[in-house]
Structure formats: structure tokens, C-alpha cells
Amino acid sequence: MTKRRSELAAPLRIRHRATEGVAAPDDAIGGWMERLVKLVPAEILAVYMAGRSHAAAIDGAWPLVCLALLVVVRIWGTHERGRGPQWSAIAVAAISFLVWVLAIDGHILTLVVNSDLASLLVLVWTTVAPLIVRGDRVG
């Protein structure tokens, strides 16, 4: 079965499926999980991890380079013709990235956070983030 071109566009765009204006009970966990997967910026975390050992010259600025890449990738990945990028999802993914960087390395530029606190923040933020971005209403 082939997908229509519009279904392939905006692979990172979050959509909120609803039945008669209310989320279907069976869809609640699936919808939360879909948002969770799309809001954790795994593609940029991989770039960050791959480059961090080589980024000693720019030290604390490497996360900012990756953050800029995240914004570019997420604009492309959430852009839909007639609607533009999904700015709320981009903002939450950016915060998610920064939280993960703090948990991995404990600092961004001069901001230093206790690693235990940062790890707990990852757990809380990753759980709460999908509740913040509900997505475009579909159906």
C-alpha cells in the first residue's frame, strides 16, 4: 500500500487524533507514546554524542551548534504546506535536547547542573513533554 505524498510530508509533525472531539481511550497511550518519540530529539543527540569528543576546541559551545542543527532539522521535519513548522514541538524538542545534554555532560557553556539532578530532570521532562504538545487536531 502506498502512502499519499501528504502523509510522507512532515515526518516529525505531531497530530492529535480525536473521535467526536474527545481523544479515544485506546488512543490515549498510543498518542502519548507517539508524541514522546517525536519530542525526544534522538537524531541530534546522536550527532551531539558523535561529535562531543572532537569538539574540545569549542567545548561548551558544541551543544549550541547541535541546538542550531536541531532547529533546522525540526523546522524541516514539522513543516507542512499551508501550516508551516510546528513551533511548539520545536521548542519542546529543543528543551528536551538541552535537558539531555545536561544529564550527559552536566554543563552547557558556563551553566553547570548536578548530574543527579539533571538525570531526574530527564525522567520528569520526558514524561511531561508529551502532555505539553498535543499536536494538530485530525479527524
Q: What is the pLDDT of residue 1?
A: 47
Write the pLDDT tens digit of every residue in 36-62: 888 889 999 999 999 988 887 776 788
User: Which cell goes with 94?
Assistant: 529543543
Within 8 A by CB and 6+ apart from 23, the residues are: 16, 17, 31
Instruction: Specify whether the CB–CB gap between 23 and 31 falls below 8 A.
Output: yes
Specify the pTM.
0.80
* C-alpha triplet 62, 125, 28: angle, nearest 5°: 130
Q: What is the CA radius of gyration of the chain?
A: 17
Write the pLDDT tens digit of every residue in 62-120: 899 999 999 999 999 999 888 889 999 999 999 999 999 989 877 787 888 888 899 99
38-55: b (≥16 Cβ within 10 Å) or e: bbbbeebbebbeeebeeb
